[in-house]
Structures are given as structure tokens and as C-alpha cells.
Amino acid sequence: MSTSLASYRTVVNVETATFGTEPPHRMMRAVCADRPVRGGVTYCNISYDADAGEGCYLIRFAPGTSSTPHEHIGYEEFLVLDGTLTDCDGTVYRRNDFVSLKPGSKHVSVSEDGATLAVFIRGGFRPLDESENVHR
């Protein structure tokens, strides 16, 4: 007897998805010198495997929240589903922008008005130490 396709499928509707405060990548929120850390970044894991450092998840930024400063070991790609996100070099990503960041990129992003992204990671990433700079 063959296994059905349904046993291999995950379907998540962005509007009804359950978001939680625990990041699927297990990266702790770090303090950014020019952006205080506060609650408001939530996650919905779709297929991210922290041990493998790859997969995808949804991330939702409440207004005024930021990501943890981090470096990508592999590619990070994301699609902005709603809102806007501003990267540390001033680049603003808007709804329907698909962004690809190469391995070695170091950045932190903030959403002044809130945003939801579909994030695809290959190779994982690591939080930056306070002594490490992001790319500007």
C-alpha cells in the first residue's frame, strides 16, 4: 500500500496561521545598540530544521521591532507578504518584494509599521557578537 501525498504535505494559510515567540532557528534575540529588543517578533515554522540550518518559516514583525543582527552561512531569501522592512543599509523592502541575500551577508532589519515575511534559509545563520558590524 502506498502512502498518500497528504502525509508529505504542510499547508499554512498566512491569515489563519498560529504564530509563537519561539524562533524555529533557535537564535536568541540580541541587543542591537541602535534598536532596543522588545517583544513583537513572532514565528510560524513551516519546515525549518535548526539542526540542518535550512527550511522555511513565516515571521511577523510588530511595528517598531527588529531582527537579531546576524550573518548568513548560506542563502537567505524572503518574500514580503505585507508591510515594509528596512535593512541596516537603508534599503526598504515592500509588499511583493522577493529578496535574496548571499552567504556571508551580515545585517539587521527593522519594521517601523509591521510586516509579515515568508523566509527561506539554506545553510543557516548565526547571531553577531556585539563587536561585529553589519554590512552598510
Third-level CATH fold of 37-127: Jelly Rolls (2.60.120)
In sign, the C-alpha dihedral spanning 66, 69, 70, 75 is positive
Distance CA 57, CA 47 (A): 7
Is 59:117 a contact under the CB 8 Å cutoff?
Answer: yes
CB atoms within 10 A of CB 17: 15
Distance CA 120, CA 19 (A): 17
- 36 pLDDT exceeds 60? no
pTM equals 0.86
- pLDDT per position as a tens digit, 53-62: 899 999 999 9
Report phi then psi at 7, rounded to 5. Answer: -75, -10
Is 58:43 a contact under the CB 8 Å cutoff?
Answer: yes
Look-up of cell digits 552598510: 136
Residue among 21, 127, 125 at smallest CA distance from 68 = 127
3-state secondary structure of 8: helix
- pLDDT per position as a tens digit, 95-129: 999 999 999 999 999 999 999 999 999 998 898 98
Q: Residue 74's pLDDT band (boundaries 50, 70, 90)?
A: very high
Is 121:99 a contact under the CB 8 Å cutoff?
Answer: no
Q: How many residues are recorded in the chain? A: 136
